[in-house]
Structure 1
Amino acid sequence: MMKFCWTTLRVSDFDKSLRFYRDLIGLPVAECSSHGGASIAMLGPEDGPKIELLYEADAPLQGQGDGISLGFEVGDLSYATKKMADHGYPLRRGPISPHPHIRFSFFSDPDGYEVQLVENLN
Protein backbone atom coordinates (compact mmCIF):
# COMPACT_ATOMS: atom_id res chain seq x y z
CA MET A 1 0.00 0.00 0.00
CA MET A 2 1.21 3.51 -0.79
CA LYS A 3 0.94 6.42 1.59
CA PHE A 4 -0.12 9.83 0.24
CA CYS A 5 2.58 12.42 1.04
CA TRP A 6 1.78 15.79 -0.56
CA THR A 7 0.20 17.80 -3.35
CA THR A 8 2.30 20.46 -5.08
CA LEU A 9 0.70 23.75 -6.02
CA ARG A 10 2.74 25.99 -8.30
CA VAL A 11 2.08 29.59 -7.21
CA SER A 12 2.64 33.04 -8.71
CA ASP A 13 3.11 34.92 -5.41
CA PHE A 14 4.80 32.83 -2.74
CA ASP A 15 4.13 35.17 0.21
CA LYS A 16 0.45 35.67 -0.67
CA SER A 17 -0.12 31.92 -1.05
CA LEU A 18 1.77 31.18 2.15
CA ARG A 19 -0.41 33.69 4.06
CA PHE A 20 -3.56 32.14 2.53
CA TYR A 21 -2.80 28.55 3.52
CA ARG A 22 -1.06 29.33 6.82
CA ASP A 23 -3.17 32.22 8.15
CA LEU A 24 -6.63 31.65 6.63
CA ILE A 25 -6.75 27.88 6.21
CA GLY A 26 -4.65 27.33 9.34
CA LEU A 27 -2.09 24.84 8.08
CA PRO A 28 1.12 24.73 10.10
CA VAL A 29 4.37 25.34 8.21
CA ALA A 30 6.41 22.16 8.42
CA GLU A 31 9.29 23.42 6.28
CA CYS A 32 10.15 26.53 4.27
CA SER A 33 13.17 27.30 2.06
CA SER A 34 14.38 29.47 -0.82
CA HIS A 35 17.23 28.82 -3.23
CA GLY A 36 18.15 29.64 -6.82
CA GLY A 37 15.00 31.65 -7.63
CA ALA A 38 12.69 29.05 -6.10
CA SER A 39 10.74 29.14 -2.85
CA ILE A 40 9.14 26.06 -1.32
CA ALA A 41 6.89 25.62 1.71
CA MET A 42 5.49 22.37 3.04
CA LEU A 43 2.31 22.93 5.04
CA GLY A 44 0.31 20.45 7.05
CA PRO A 45 0.33 18.41 10.24
CA GLU A 46 3.64 16.83 11.22
CA ASP A 47 2.42 13.26 10.70
CA GLY A 48 0.00 13.88 7.82
CA PRO A 49 -0.09 14.75 4.13
CA LYS A 50 1.17 18.18 3.12
CA ILE A 51 0.52 20.90 0.59
CA GLU A 52 3.71 22.00 -1.09
CA LEU A 53 3.73 25.59 -2.34
CA LEU A 54 6.27 26.00 -5.13
CA TYR A 55 7.29 29.34 -6.60
CA GLU A 56 9.80 29.39 -9.46
CA ALA A 57 10.86 32.83 -10.69
CA ASP A 58 11.85 31.52 -14.14
CA ALA A 59 8.77 29.35 -14.73
CA PRO A 60 5.62 31.48 -15.18
CA LEU A 61 2.31 29.78 -14.47
CA GLN A 62 -0.03 28.88 -17.30
CA GLY A 63 -3.52 27.50 -16.80
CA GLN A 64 -2.96 25.67 -13.54
CA GLY A 65 -5.76 24.75 -11.19
CA ASP A 66 -8.31 23.44 -13.65
CA GLY A 67 -10.05 20.46 -12.10
CA ILE A 68 -8.19 20.64 -8.77
CA SER A 69 -10.13 21.08 -5.54
CA LEU A 70 -8.61 21.01 -2.06
CA GLY A 71 -10.96 20.23 0.84
CA PHE A 72 -10.49 21.42 4.43
CA GLU A 73 -12.72 20.68 7.40
CA VAL A 74 -13.83 23.68 9.47
CA GLY A 75 -15.72 23.86 12.75
CA ASP A 76 -18.10 26.64 11.65
CA LEU A 77 -18.69 27.19 7.93
CA SER A 78 -20.49 30.52 8.44
CA TYR A 79 -17.55 31.91 10.42
CA ALA A 80 -15.00 30.56 7.91
CA THR A 81 -16.97 32.04 4.99
CA LYS A 82 -17.00 35.48 6.62
CA LYS A 83 -13.28 35.25 7.44
CA MET A 84 -12.47 34.37 3.83
CA ALA A 85 -14.59 37.26 2.51
CA ASP A 86 -13.05 39.69 5.01
CA HIS A 87 -9.63 38.81 3.59
CA GLY A 88 -10.71 39.30 -0.03
CA TYR A 89 -11.68 35.75 -0.96
CA PRO A 90 -15.42 35.80 -1.75
CA LEU A 91 -17.64 32.75 -1.88
CA ARG A 92 -17.59 31.09 -5.33
CA ARG A 93 -20.53 28.78 -4.70
CA GLY A 94 -22.41 27.23 -1.84
CA PRO A 95 -23.17 26.47 0.82
CA ILE A 96 -24.23 23.07 -0.44
CA SER A 97 -25.68 20.38 1.80
CA PRO A 98 -25.98 17.08 -0.07
CA HIS A 99 -27.28 15.41 3.11
CA PRO A 100 -28.16 16.60 6.63
CA HIS A 101 -24.74 15.82 8.15
CA ILE A 102 -22.47 17.94 5.93
CA ARG A 103 -22.32 21.28 4.19
CA PHE A 104 -19.59 22.91 2.17
CA SER A 105 -18.69 26.03 0.21
CA PHE A 106 -16.14 26.80 -2.49
CA PHE A 107 -13.56 29.59 -2.73
CA SER A 108 -10.52 30.32 -4.90
CA ASP A 109 -6.99 30.63 -3.54
CA PRO A 110 -4.68 33.41 -4.81
CA ASP A 111 -3.88 31.45 -8.00
CA GLY A 112 -7.40 30.21 -8.72
CA TYR A 113 -7.09 26.74 -7.20
CA GLU A 114 -10.48 25.69 -5.83
CA VAL A 115 -10.67 25.43 -2.04
CA GLN A 116 -13.61 23.64 -0.45
CA LEU A 117 -14.43 24.31 3.19
CA VAL A 118 -16.44 21.49 4.76
CA GLU A 119 -18.45 21.47 8.00
CA ASN A 120 -19.54 18.14 9.44
CA LEU A 121 -22.86 18.59 11.24
CA ASN A 122 -22.81 15.47 13.42
Structure 2
Amino acid sequence: MTISLQYYHVTVNDPEEALTFYRDALGLDIVQDVSSGGHRWITLGSADRPGTQIVLSDPHAGRSQADGDTIQELLTKGVMPMVVFNTDDIDGTFEQLRASGAEVLQEPIDQPWGPRDAAFRDPSGNMVRILQAPTQA
Protein backbone atom coordinates (compact mmCIF):
# COMPACT_ATOMS: atom_id res chain seq x y z
CA MET A 1 0.00 0.00 0.00
CA THR A 2 1.23 3.48 -0.88
CA ILE A 3 -0.06 6.60 0.82
CA SER A 4 0.90 10.24 0.35
CA LEU A 5 -0.39 13.65 1.31
CA GLN A 6 -2.53 15.14 -1.48
CA TYR A 7 -3.26 18.64 -0.15
CA TYR A 8 -3.25 20.78 2.95
CA HIS A 9 -5.80 23.48 3.77
CA VAL A 10 -4.51 26.92 4.70
CA THR A 11 -7.16 29.19 6.20
CA VAL A 12 -6.81 32.81 5.14
CA ASN A 13 -8.88 35.96 5.65
CA ASP A 14 -9.11 36.67 1.93
CA PRO A 15 -8.12 34.05 -0.67
CA GLU A 16 -7.55 36.71 -3.34
CA GLU A 17 -5.18 38.65 -1.08
CA ALA A 18 -3.38 35.42 -0.15
CA LEU A 19 -2.62 34.83 -3.84
CA THR A 20 -0.18 37.75 -3.75
CA PHE A 21 1.91 35.71 -1.33
CA TYR A 22 1.42 32.09 -2.42
CA ARG A 23 1.22 32.58 -6.20
CA ASP A 24 3.09 35.83 -6.89
CA ALA A 25 5.80 35.74 -4.19
CA LEU A 26 6.28 31.98 -3.69
CA GLY A 27 5.67 31.13 -7.34
CA LEU A 28 3.01 28.45 -6.89
CA ASP A 29 0.61 27.77 -9.75
CA ILE A 30 -3.19 27.80 -9.54
CA VAL A 31 -4.39 24.24 -10.08
CA GLN A 32 -8.08 24.83 -9.37
CA ASP A 33 -10.24 27.80 -8.36
CA VAL A 34 -13.74 27.00 -7.08
CA SER A 35 -16.36 29.45 -5.84
CA SER A 36 -19.59 28.52 -4.10
CA GLY A 37 -21.96 30.30 -1.75
CA GLY A 38 -19.79 33.41 -1.51
CA HIS A 39 -16.69 31.39 -0.61
CA ARG A 40 -13.65 30.39 -2.62
CA TRP A 41 -11.24 27.46 -2.53
CA ILE A 42 -8.00 28.00 -4.48
CA THR A 43 -5.75 24.98 -4.95
CA LEU A 44 -2.10 25.80 -5.61
CA GLY A 45 0.84 23.60 -6.48
CA SER A 46 4.01 23.50 -8.49
CA ALA A 47 3.70 22.63 -12.17
CA ASP A 48 7.34 21.52 -12.39
CA ARG A 49 7.20 19.47 -9.15
CA PRO A 50 3.95 17.54 -8.81
CA GLY A 51 3.07 16.54 -5.28
CA THR A 52 1.35 18.02 -2.28
CA GLN A 53 -0.85 21.02 -2.97
CA ILE A 54 -2.33 23.67 -0.69
CA VAL A 55 -5.91 24.90 -0.69
CA LEU A 56 -6.61 28.48 0.38
CA SER A 57 -10.04 29.19 1.84
CA ASP A 58 -11.64 31.62 4.28
CA PRO A 59 -12.59 30.58 7.84
CA HIS A 60 -16.30 30.11 7.04
CA ALA A 61 -15.86 28.18 3.76
CA GLY A 62 -17.69 24.88 4.18
CA ARG A 63 -18.15 25.34 7.93
CA SER A 64 -20.90 26.33 10.30
CA GLN A 65 -21.04 29.95 11.45
CA ALA A 66 -19.84 28.95 14.94
CA ASP A 67 -16.93 26.86 13.65
CA GLY A 68 -15.94 29.58 11.18
CA ASP A 69 -16.03 32.17 13.96
CA THR A 70 -13.77 30.01 16.13
CA ILE A 71 -11.29 29.48 13.29
CA GLN A 72 -11.38 33.22 12.55
CA GLU A 73 -10.41 33.92 16.18
CA LEU A 74 -7.48 31.50 15.95
CA LEU A 75 -6.38 33.00 12.64
CA THR A 76 -6.52 36.50 14.13
CA LYS A 77 -4.35 35.35 17.05
CA GLY A 78 -1.79 33.89 14.62
CA VAL A 79 -1.95 30.41 16.12
CA MET A 80 -3.04 28.34 13.14
CA PRO A 81 -0.65 25.51 12.14
CA MET A 82 2.34 26.63 10.12
CA VAL A 83 3.07 25.62 6.54
CA VAL A 84 6.59 24.45 5.66
CA PHE A 85 7.97 24.52 2.12
CA ASN A 86 11.36 23.34 0.91
CA THR A 87 13.56 24.93 -1.71
CA ASP A 88 16.92 24.29 -3.29
CA ASP A 89 17.87 27.98 -2.85
CA ILE A 90 16.86 29.36 0.55
CA ASP A 91 18.74 32.62 0.12
CA GLY A 92 17.20 33.35 -3.29
CA THR A 93 13.72 32.38 -2.08
CA PHE A 94 14.16 34.54 1.01
CA GLU A 95 15.12 37.59 -1.07
CA GLN A 96 12.21 37.00 -3.45
CA LEU A 97 9.75 36.89 -0.53
CA ARG A 98 11.29 39.87 1.23
CA ALA A 99 11.14 41.89 -2.01
CA SER A 100 7.42 41.08 -2.25
CA GLY A 101 6.83 42.87 1.06
CA ALA A 102 6.11 39.70 3.05
CA GLU A 103 6.59 40.05 6.81
CA VAL A 104 9.94 38.51 7.74
CA LEU A 105 9.97 36.56 11.01
CA GLN A 106 13.40 34.98 10.67
CA GLU A 107 16.20 35.49 8.17
CA PRO A 108 17.90 32.34 6.84
CA ILE A 109 19.93 30.52 9.49
CA ASP A 110 21.53 27.11 9.79
CA GLN A 111 19.53 25.06 12.28
CA PRO A 112 21.29 22.62 14.65
CA TRP A 113 19.01 19.79 13.42
CA GLY A 114 20.17 20.17 9.81
CA PRO A 115 18.31 22.48 7.44
CA ARG A 116 18.89 26.14 6.70
CA ASP A 117 15.56 27.92 7.05
CA ALA A 118 13.69 31.22 7.20
CA ALA A 119 10.19 32.25 8.31
CA PHE A 120 7.53 34.68 7.13
CA ARG A 121 3.89 35.55 7.79
CA ASP A 122 1.40 35.42 4.96
CA PRO A 123 -1.11 38.31 4.61
CA SER A 124 -3.47 36.56 7.09
CA GLY A 125 -0.79 36.04 9.75
CA ASN A 126 -0.07 32.34 9.13
CA MET A 127 3.54 31.36 9.75
CA VAL A 128 5.25 30.03 6.64
CA ARG A 129 8.68 28.44 6.96
CA ILE A 130 10.97 27.84 4.00
CA LEU A 131 13.82 25.34 4.39
CA GLN A 132 16.70 24.03 2.39
CA ALA A 133 17.97 20.57 3.23
CA PRO A 134 21.63 20.36 4.21
CA THR A 135 24.08 19.55 1.43
CA GLN A 136 25.28 15.95 1.47
CA ALA A 137 29.05 15.68 1.90
TM range, smaller chain: 0.7 to 0.9
| TM-score (norm. length: structure 2) | 0.73
Taking only the aligned residue pairs, the percentage that are identical comes to 25
Q: CA deviation at 1:76?
A: 2.4
Amino acid paired to 1:7: Y
**SS of 1:107's equivalent?**
strand
Q: CA deviation at 1:20?
A: 1.1
**SS of 1:33's equivalent?**
strand
Give structure 2 stretches of 5+ with no counterpart.
none
Distance 2:12 2:113 in 1: 36
- The number of residues matched between the two structures is 122
- Residues 12-23 of structure 1 correspond to what in structure 2 (within 5 A)? 12-23=13-24
Name the structure 2 match of 1:118: 131
- Residues 1-122 of structure 1 correspond to what in structure 2 (within 5 A)? 2-45=3-46, 47-55=50-58, 56=60, 59=68, 61-64=72-75, 65-66=78-79, 68-99=81-112, 102-122=115-135
Larger % of helix: which? 2
Asked whether the equivalents of residues 31 and 45 of structure 2 are also in contact (C-alpha less than 8 Å), the reply is: yes
Decide whether aligned partners of structure 1 residues 67 and 32 sit closer, same or farther in structure 2, where only a CA change above 3 A counts. closer
Distance 2:105 2:56 in 1: 22
**SS of 2:21's equivalent?**
helix
**SS of 1:29's equivalent?**
strand
Q: CA deviation at 1:75?
A: 3.0
Amino acid paired to 1:117: I
Amino acid paired to 1:17: A
Give structure 1 stretches of 5+ with no counterpart.
none
